[in-house]
Amino acid sequence: MTKSELRKLYLQKRKVLSEAEYLALNHRLTEVFFSSVDLSFINVLHTFLPVVEKREPDTWLIIDRIRREFPHVRLSIPRVNTETDQLENFYFEGLHQLKKNNWGILEPTQGIPTPPEKIDMVLIPLLAFDNQGNRVGYGKGYYDRFLGSCPQKTKKIGISFFSSEEEIPSTNSDEQLDHCITPTEVYIFHK
């Protein structure tokens, strides 16, 4: 399948999730995340903010628990700069700094910028992924460009409700995942 076909398929798979299924998947995904990810050596964790209306994995469950149980971890969140076509990243201070953009995504309106070299781990939005760590995002390339600016040591973790595909077409500009976490499994990709 092409990336475009996979994008369409997985957007539809999310769309048909009932409210109960969506809540259960998010709960299990959060539990798998905290039982499999060691946050003791993470200083800065970057995460996307979910568009719940589009049934994206609800990273607020992870954010809230990190803030309660891992106060040493600083959270960083993205904002799209439409002029440069890049993600800008800011330390998360609280809901007061957020506003929805044109795509309905909550973004920081202000804050302290997060230098990419300070980021230890990134939770990456995706629609599909394969057994080699390739992913299908929304097609704009924001995360590929952003991940390319992070240090080699930065852990790249995809978050998905669904299992892997056998193979996804990729190019040299596509950044591969180190891991992908689903409600039932943790995938580890060896490069």
Contacts 24+ apart (CB under 8 A), 101-107: 103/51, 104/51, 104/53, 104/54, 105/49, 105/51, 105/80, 106/49, 107/49, 107/77, 107/78, 107/79, 107/80
- For residues 103-111, give the mean pLDDT: 89
Residue 185 binned pLDDT confidence (cut-offs 50, 70, 90): very high
- Give the domain 3-188 fold: Rossmann fold (3.40.50)
Strands 128-129 and 44-47: unpaired
Count CB-CB contacts under 10 A for residue 83.
6
**pLDDT score at 173:** 78
Write the pLDDT tens digit of every residue in 1-40: 888 899 999 999 999 999 999 999 999 999 999 999 999 9
User: Three-state SS for 135?
Assistant: strand
Asked if the model's pLDDT at residue 190 lies above 80, the reply is no
Confidence of residue 82 (pLDDT cuts 50, 70, 90): confident
Q: What is the DSSP letter of 95?
A: G
123 vs 83: which has the higher pLDDT:
123
Q: Report pTM.
A: 0.92
Identify the weakest region by mean pLDDT among 16-20, 75-79, 85-89, 111-115. 85-89
- Parse the chain into domains and list their residue ranges: 3-188
* Closest to 157 measured CA to CA, from 139, 170, 175: 175
CB contact burial 146-185 (16+ within 10 A = b; e otherwise): bbeebeeebbbbbbbbbebbeebebeeebbbbbbbbbbee
What are the CA-CA distances from residue 178 to residues 20, 81, 84, 131, 181 (Å)? 30, 26, 27, 11, 10
Contact status, residue 36 vs residue 186, Cβ threshold 8 Å: yes
Given this model, what pLDDT does residue 191 score?
60
Dump pLDDT digits (tens) for 141-182: 889 999 999 999 999 999 999 999 989 988 887 889 999 999
Pairwise CA distance, residues 58 & 62, whole Å: 8
Instruction: Measure the CA–CA gap between 60 and 64, rounded to whole angstroms.
Output: 6
Question: Residue 141's pLDDT is what?
Answer: 81
